């Protein structure tokens, strides 16, 4: 501090000012600084503040320099000079003094500037007091406020991270949450490492920043000298508070991470249900040490992460089990079918109210049959659990067996319904079975409570094929309604038959018809290749999500230039079922035209109709109509009508009314050859027609 003396040396009459006694009681000293003479009077309390005895102070500011450090003196001089210059009436400042024992203490001063009538500063009266305790308390409050804010931020990060982890389904989801900008990086961590305990080893699943992988640490033993191994062994967190501590504690690891500028680290065991499932490490590059509060927060966060990680591991295990069971129940491979391109797909549904995928009862199957035919199956067992999958597996096997035995589509479906009803289960199933003759393109479809199939033409046009259908499998047997009407349709070369389960159709807020319209539009706009089309439809189902699983089968009949096997079709006609008789006629007409025998279509249809009518009229059971192409030296079309009667047909003379008696005569006149064969307890009346060969 410097003297501010002036030319006038007279002192004011009231100089020095007499302080209020209450100041001394509050340990405040006073001063009176005459700016004209430069005298700086201090009372006894002020001497005590500056730690000066009366004989050590001569009344001039210069003698205070022994207690006021030079830098502090310069700062005070500048502040007072500025206050006098800018017309201020007072000023105040905190500064430090060095006491007799060498300790620095904070001091506070306030001064009131008196001016004359011209505004010139003449005198400063003020106080000084020790402010060390005040500033210490203020600093403590400030530190506490900062600590509270840090705790609030840490608690907020824990809450945000815990909330985000609640939505993590897989282990990778957990890692992504922790690496997210709203995750652990808000705690100041530079990077994250994480490992899972597997068979006495720790497998690294998150390895920190790019380029930080340490060779040989992808899989480590629990007894190796690494921090994650240590916390798994001891089940105790390890807080490393300095690079030196890191280097001393883990000399094998430290040389590999020195380039990361790690200054401290926190390694936490991930414990769930009282056993370690992994470990996590947080690496810091801008701090040393951890307070007790920070340690508690990190330990609590580690516990939350462990719970989420265990939940994710359980989910992945259950998903693998469900997927494995589902795949085991579905066909391992789809056989190659001459004359057709086939694509099948399956997508597991998202379990409602749970994490991730669920197992379901949807299935598909493709069954090669004799005579160039193939059976396509799509179905859905009620429920989404392992029981539904088990029932599905059994039902798929029996459907395949019944179809391979040569039963008609309606019989296959009826027998499958009886089988399901007799199982020890309360489940039912919907199903659609379509038997296609790829040489003729004739398809016979039956439906048990399932959604209708679609047919896509080569130009992209797609239409829904209405199949009358019966009750779902299991229910039709329970209620004694085993009738499954057969819908016959023609699949021309280049046409694609699509069978799917309702998971591909149903959408929230839309009814089934709207869903079928949407699917029809998707198929129409999709690619021509059946595999690419199947991928496209499954991708759409994946984007929509949904609780239900999806099974899909696409069958595209190849062009006429593809190699074709001899054709064979079969139709079951029950007594008193005019619809079945109509379908049999439609099948015969379509097959004859498809096999290139159109010029004899009327003759063949007339003879077949006569044989079917005779079987129904003169026997007590049903008739089974079989139509096939025989190849050899001559190409022939053979019609067989099988019934349960062993009585041979005999020719009769027509009666006077001319209504009956001409059946066998008609057969003999129109066919090239005919005959009768014994078939077990019944017989089959057959006839053959010579037909031209196909180019």
What is the model's pLDDT at position 564?
A: 43
Selected residue with higher pLDDT from 366 and 6:
366
Task: Report the alpha-carbon distance of residue 463 to residue 448 in Å, rounded.
Answer: 20
The residues, any chain, with a CB within 8 Å of residue 38's CB and separated by 6 or more, are 3, 4, 5, 6, 60, 61
Residue-wise pLDDT for 435-444, tens only, equals 998 877 889 9
How many Cβ atoms from other residues are within 10 Å of residue 695's Cβ? 6
Whole-prediction pTM value?
0.52
What is the model's pLDDT at position 9?
A: 61
Residue-wise pLDDT for 563-601, tens only, equals 344 566 778 787 877 777 887 888 888 888 877 777 888
Asked if residue 73 has pLDDT above 80, the reply is yes
Average pLDDT for 59-86: 90
Asked if 305 and 338 count as a contact pair (C-beta separation under 8 A), the reply is: no
Sign, CA torsion 521/527/528/529: negative
Selection from 43, 38, 42 nearest residue 60 by Cα: 38
3-state secondary structure 497-551: EEEECHHHCCCCCCCHHHHHHHHHHHHHHCCCCHHHHHHHHHHHHHHHCCCCCEE
Average pLDDT for 543-566: 72
Within its chain, how far is the Cα of 609 from the centroid? Answer: 58
Least confident range from 273-277, 316-320, 457-461, 512-516: namely: 316-320
Residue-wise pLDDT for 158-208, tens only, equals 777 777 777 777 888 888 877 765 555 556 677 788 889 988 899 888 776
What is the model's pLDDT at position 352?
A: 44
Confidence bin at 121 (pLDDT 50/70/90): very high
- Omega into 172 within 30° of 0, i.e. cis? no
DSSP string, 477-496: HHTT------EEEE--TT-E
Asked if residue 357 has pLDDT above 70, the reply is no
Residue-wise pLDDT for 271-329, tens only, equals 988 889 899 888 888 888 888 888 888 888 888 888 888 888 888 777 777 667 766 77
Strands 28-34, 40-42: pairing is: antiparallel
Confidence bin at 4 (pLDDT 50/70/90): very low
Query: What φ, ψ does residue 40 adopt, rounded to 5°?
Result: -125, 95
Task: Report the alpha-carbon distance of residue 164 to residue 180 in Å, rounded.
Answer: 10
Average pLDDT for 57-66: 89
């Amino acid at each position: 501090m410097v003297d501010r003396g002036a030319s006038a040396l007279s002192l004011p009459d009231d100089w020095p000012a007499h302080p209020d006694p209450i100041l001394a009681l509050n340990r405040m000293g006073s001063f009176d600084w005459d700016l004209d003479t430069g005298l700086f009077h201090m009372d006894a309390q002020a001497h005590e503040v500056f730690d000066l005895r009366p004989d050590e102070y001569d009344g001039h500011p210069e003698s205070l320099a022994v207690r006021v450090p030079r830098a502090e003196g310069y700062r005070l001089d500048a502040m007072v000079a500025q206050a006098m210059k800018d017309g201020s009436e007072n000023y105040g400042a905190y500064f430090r003094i060095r006491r007799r024992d060498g300790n620095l203490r904070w001091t506070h001063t306030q001064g009131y500037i008196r001016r004359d009538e011209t505004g010139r500063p003449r005198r400063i009266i003020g106080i000084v007091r020790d402010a060390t305790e005040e500033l210490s308390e203020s600093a403590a409050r400030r530190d506490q406020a900062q600590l509270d804010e840090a705790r609030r931020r840490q608690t907020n990060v824990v809450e945000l991270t815990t909330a985000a982890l609640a939505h993590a389904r897989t282990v990778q989801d957990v890692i992504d949450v922790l690496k997210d900008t709203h995750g652990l990086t808000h705690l100041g961590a530079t990077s994250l490492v994480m490992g899972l305990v597997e068979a006495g080893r720790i497998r690294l699943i998150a390895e920190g920043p790019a380029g930080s992988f340490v060779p040989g640490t992808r899989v480590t033993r629990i007894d190796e000298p690494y921090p994650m191994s240590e916390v798994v062994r001891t089940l105790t967190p390890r807080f490393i508070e300095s690079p030196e501590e890191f280097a001393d504690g883990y000399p094998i690891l430290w040389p590999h991470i020195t380039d990361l500028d790690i200054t401290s680290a926190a390694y936490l065991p991930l414990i769930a249900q009282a056993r370690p499932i992994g470990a996590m490490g947080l690496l810091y590059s801008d701090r040393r040490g951890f307070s007790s509060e920070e340690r508690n927060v990190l330990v609590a966060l580690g516990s939350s992460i462990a719970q989420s990680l265990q939940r994710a591991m359980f989910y992945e295990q259950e998903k693998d089990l469900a997927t494995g069971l589902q795949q085991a129940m579905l066909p391992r491979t789809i056989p190659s079918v001459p004359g057709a391109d086939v694509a099948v797909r399956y997508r597991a549904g998202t379990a409602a109210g749970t994490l991730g995928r669920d197992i379901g009862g949807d299935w598909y199957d493709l069954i090669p049959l004799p005579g160039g035919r193939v059976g396509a199956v799509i179905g859905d067992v009620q429920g989404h659990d392992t029981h539904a999958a088990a029932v599905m597996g059994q039902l798929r096997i029996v459907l395949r067996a019944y179809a391979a035995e040569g039963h008609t589509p309606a019989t296959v479906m009826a027998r499958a319904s009886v089988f399901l009803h007799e199982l020890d289960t309360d489940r039912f199933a919907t199903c659609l079975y379509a038997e296609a003759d790829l040489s003729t393109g004739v398809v016979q479809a039956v439906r048990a409570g399932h959604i209708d199939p679609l047919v896509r033409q080569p130009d992209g046009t797609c239409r829904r094929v209405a199949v009358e259908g019966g009750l779902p499998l299991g229910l039709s047997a329970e209620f004694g309604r085993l009738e499954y009407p057969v819908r016959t349709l023609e699949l021309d070369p280049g046409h694609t038959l699509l069978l799917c389960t309702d998971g591909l159709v149903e959408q929230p807020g839309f009814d089934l018809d709207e869903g079928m319209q949407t699917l029809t539009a998707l198929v129409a706009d999709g690619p021509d290749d059946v595999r690419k089309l199947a991928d496209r439809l499954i991708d759409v189902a994946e984007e929509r999500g949904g609780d239900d699983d999806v099974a899909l089968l696409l069958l595209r009949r190849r062009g006429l230039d593809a190699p074709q096997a001899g054709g064979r079709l079969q139709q079951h006609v029950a007594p008193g079922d005019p619809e079945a008789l109509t379908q049999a006629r439609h099948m015969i007409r379509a097959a004859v035209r498809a096999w290139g025998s159109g010029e004899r279509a009327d003759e063949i249809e007339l003879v077949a109709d006569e044989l079917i009518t005779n079987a129904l009229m003169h026997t007590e059971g049903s008739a089974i109509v079989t139509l096939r192409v025989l190849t050899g030296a001559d190409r022939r079309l053979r019609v067989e009508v099988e019934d349960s009667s062993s009585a041979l047909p005999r020719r009769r003379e027509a009666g006077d009314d001319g209504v009956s008696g001409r059946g066998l005569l008609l057969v003999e006149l129109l066919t090239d050859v005919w005959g009768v064969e014994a078939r077990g307890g019944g017989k089959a009346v057959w006839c053959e027609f010579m037909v031209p060969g196909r180019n």
